[in-house]
């Protein structure tokens, strides 16, 4: 049999998973999996099973066809991902086997009723939201794929009206978001020990003016994700949360489990970068959130992009020295300050006392990540000066590299010589 997660579980977790296996095997082999455990669900199940009989027949006639995300659910098949999926449902129901089996049955019926297994091939609309409202970007410190959800785009009245102005738009938006969830799951692993969940970032900036349609749709969506995608989210981090936005927290807390509530983290506007850096490395955090990651940027690689950190106390000055012994190179550096509100300047200090210092950047207030470069024509050092005039200590993030460079005046001289020789300029 393929490897399993059983060896990594505590004794009581192992017992619950083994019992869940046995109960599920019996349900599948006796064609009971798609039938409700509770009497009040029978009418709903009849509707769900009647929707697409060709799918129902195929799954019920062939137990091997019962699967989730491409993983067969029949335990006796011995697929390495089966236990991984089953344990997610167990965790979501605090190891209560009957509740976990009921949750799995509901999720399977929901997927069948809404044809979720084929949703990746659908064109559900909203192409304008694909790279702005919900998108995957990098991984966190533990290797979880990071999913960003940006609600501020809906301050566009036309886009808001198209998405939430009527019931059809709201249903389409929910389906679009479910489709995006299915895309995200493609980046996860169902192997024992693999990364099986993602980090969700929900940015509420500029979302306060939204009406109840968005809140109601969000509530429905969160309920769907909790009921049908157990343990697929490592953390939900809400950014730019104001006092009014804590209504989101109270809204969610009424219909999510205690385990799910423990995964919710809220960050006020002044704490966004500090909060995200607890989970995401500076080089992997997008620049708009205070990190160094830029779109289509290849300046720094994993080998030369290591970020250093120093703490600057309140009311003090810190100098970052980037030495350069060999002339004829260009120094490139990134710098950011967690908490901002500091003054900052850059200068080149030559080793030759007879040479002049060069002011690269005049003193300014640093309120966003900054990148700059300077061509080194003689041995010396680049000095970055940060002054913290507040009373709070702050963290400075920086990295630097050197790269060989041909001076501009050399290029101009070579071009002039070529023109003189060829008499073509």
**pLDDT (mean) for 308-317:** 96
pLDDT of 102 > 90? The answer is yes
Final residue of a domain: which of 113, 139, 170?
113
- Co-location of 274 and 138 in the same domain: yes
- Co-location of 199 and 50 in the same domain: no
Full residue range of the structural domain in which residue 221 is found = 121-280
Longest Cα separation, the chain: 94
**pLDDT (mean) for 386-396:** 95
421 assigned to some structural domain: no
- Co-location of 85 and 197 in the same domain: no
- Co-location of 128 and 275 in the same domain: yes
Q: Record the pTM.
A: 0.84
pLDDT of 373 > 70? The answer is yes
- Co-location of 153 and 235 in the same domain: yes
Q: In sequence order, what DSSP letters do the residues of 12-28 get, joined into one string?
A: HHHHHHHHHHHHHHHHH
DSSP state of 117: G
- Co-location of 224 and 337 in the same domain: no
What tokens does 293 get? 């990651």
The pLDDT value recorded for residue 47 is 37
CB-side neighbour CA atoms (13 Å) of 22: 7
- Co-location of 260 and 389 in the same domain: no
- Long-range residue pairs from 292-296, CB within 8 A, at least 24 positions apart, any chain: 292/334, 292/336, 292/369, 292/397, 292/399, 293/137, 293/138
287 assigned to some structural domain: no
- Co-location of 128 and 251 in the same domain: yes
Distance between CA atoms of 394 and 359, rounded to whole angstroms? 25
Q: Measure the CA angle with vertex 101, ends 66 and 196; round to 5°.
A: 70
What tokens does 346 get? 């850059």
Q: What percent of the chain has pLDDT over 90?
A: 60
- Co-location of 142 and 178 in the same domain: yes
Q: β-strand 358-366 against 342-350: which pairing, if any?
A: antiparallel
- Co-location of 207 and 169 in the same domain: yes
CATH number (domain holding residue 222): 3.40.525.10
244 assigned to some structural domain: yes
pLDDT tens digits, one per residue of 41-63: 444 444 333 333 334 444 455 76
Q: Output the CA–CA distances (angstroms, integers) from residue 82 to 20, 123, 192, 202, in the order listed.
A: 11, 30, 10, 30
Q: In sequence order, what DSSP letters do the residues of 378-424 get, joined into one string?
A: SSEEEEEEEEE-SSS-EEEEEEEEEEE---HHHHHHHHHHHHHHHT-
φ/ψ of 338, rounded to 5, equals: -75, 115
The confidence band for 26, taking pLDDT boundaries of 50, 70 and 90, is very high
CA-wise closest residue to 78 among 27, 32, 29, 25: 25
- Co-location of 149 and 264 in the same domain: yes
CATH number (domain holding residue 379): 2.60.120.680
Could you give the number of structural domains in the chain? Answer: 3
The pLDDT value recorded for residue 58 is 43
């Amino acid at each position: 049999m393929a490897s399993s997660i059983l060896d990594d579980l505590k004794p009581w977790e192992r017992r619950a998973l083994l019992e869940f296996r046995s109960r599920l095997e019996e349900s599948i082999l006796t064609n009971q999996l798609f039938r409700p455990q509770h009497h009040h669900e029978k009418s709903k199940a009849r509707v769900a099973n009647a929707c697409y009989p060709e799918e129902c027949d195929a799954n019920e006639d062939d137990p091997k066809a019962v699967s989730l995300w491409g993983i067969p659910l029949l335990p006796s098949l011995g697929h390495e991902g089966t236990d991984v999926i089953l344990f997610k449902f167990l965790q979501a129901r605090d190891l209560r086997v009957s509740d976990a089996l009921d949750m799995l049955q509901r999720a399977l019926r929901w997927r069948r009723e809404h044809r979720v297994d084929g949703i990746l091939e659908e064109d559900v609309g909203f192409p304008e939201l694909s790279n702005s409202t919900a998108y995957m970007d990098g991984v966190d410190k533990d290797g979880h794929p990071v999913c960003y959800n940006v609600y501020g785009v809906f301050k566009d009245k036309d886009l808001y009206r198209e998405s939430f102005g009527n019931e059809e738009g709201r249903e389409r938006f929910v389906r679009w978001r479910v489709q995006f969830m299915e895309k995200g799951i493609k980046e996860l692993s169902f192997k024992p020990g693999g990364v099986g969940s993602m980090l969700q970032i929900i940015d509420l900036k500029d979302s306060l003016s939204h009406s109840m349609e968005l809140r109601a749709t969000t509530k429905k969506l969160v309920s769907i994700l909790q009921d049908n995608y157990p343990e697929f989210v490592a953390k939900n981090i809400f950014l730019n949360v104001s006092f009014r936005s804590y209504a989101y927290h109270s809204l969610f807390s009424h219909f999510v489990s205690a385990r799910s509530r423990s995964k919710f983290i809220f960050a006020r506007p002044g704490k966004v970068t500090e909060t995200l850096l607890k989970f995401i490395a500076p080089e992997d955090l997008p620049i708009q959130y205070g990190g160094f990651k830029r779109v289509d940027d290849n300046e720094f690689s994993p080998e030369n992009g290591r970020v250093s950190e120093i703490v600057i106390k309140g009311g003090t000055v810190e100098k970052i020295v980037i030495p350069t012994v060999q002339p004829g190179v260009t120094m490139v550096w990134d710098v950011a300050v967690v908490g901002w509100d500091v003054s900052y300047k850059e200068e080149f200090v030559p080793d030759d006392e007879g040479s002049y210092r060069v002011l690269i950047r005049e003193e300014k207030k640093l309120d966003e990540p900054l990148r700059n470069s300077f061509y080194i024509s003689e041995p010396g050092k680049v000095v970055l000066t940060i002054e913290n005039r507040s009373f709070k200590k702050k963290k400075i993030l920086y990295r630097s590299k050197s790269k060989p460079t041909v001076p501009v005046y050399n290029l101009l001289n070579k071009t002039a010589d070529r023109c003189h020789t060829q008499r073509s300029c």
